Amino acid sequence: MRFDVITLFPELFEPHLIHGITRRAYATAQVDVRLWPLRDFADGNYRRVDDRPYGGGPGMVLMAEPLERALASVRAGRLSDAAGASAAAPVIHFTPTGRRLDQQVVRELAAGPGAVLLCGRYEGIDQRFLDRHVDIELSLGDFVLSGGELPALALLDAVARLQDGVLGDAQSHQQDSFSDGLLEGPHYSRPEWLETEEGPLSIPPVLLSGHHGRIARWRREQSLRLTARRRPDLIAAARAANRLSTEDERFLAGVDVY
Q: What domain range is 229 assigned to? A: 179-252
CATH classification of the domain holding 16: 3.40.1280.10
Name the residues annotated as catalytic.
96, 123, 161, 176
Mean pLDDT of the chain: 91
Q: Which residues contact 213 (CB under 8 A, 6 or more apart)?
A: none
CB atoms within 10 A of CB 177: 16
CATH code of the domain in which 202 resides: 1.10.1270.20
Whether residue 10 sits in one domain with residue 105: yes
Q: How far is CA 29 from CA 171, 172, 216, in A?
A: 22, 21, 35
135 and 37 in a single domain? The answer is yes
3-state helix, strand, coil in the chain (%, to 5): 40, 15, 45
Residues 6+ apart with CB under 8 A from 99: 105, 136, 137, 138, 139
pLDDT tens by residue, 202-235: 999 999 999 999 999 999 999 999 999 999 999 9
Round to whole Å and give the CA distance between 92 and 29. Answer: 20
Whether 19 and 52 share a structural domain: yes
Could you tell me if 121 and 183 lie in one domain?
no
Q: What string of DSSP letters covers 195-214?
A: --TT--EE--GGGGS--HHH
Q: Count of domains in the chain?
A: 2
From the number of C-beta atoms within 10 Å of its C-beta (0-12, 13-18, 19+), residue 171 rates as exposed
Co-location of 200 and 140 in the same domain: no
Question: Would residue 232 count as lying in a domain?
Answer: yes
Q: What pLDDT digit, counting tens, does each position of 78-89 carry?
A: 998 866 566 679
pLDDT in tens, 119-175: 999 889 999 999 999 999 999 999 999 999 999 999 999 999 999 888 754 454 444
pTM of the predicted structure, to 2 decimals: 0.82
Is residue 171, in this structure, part of any structural domain at all? Answer: no
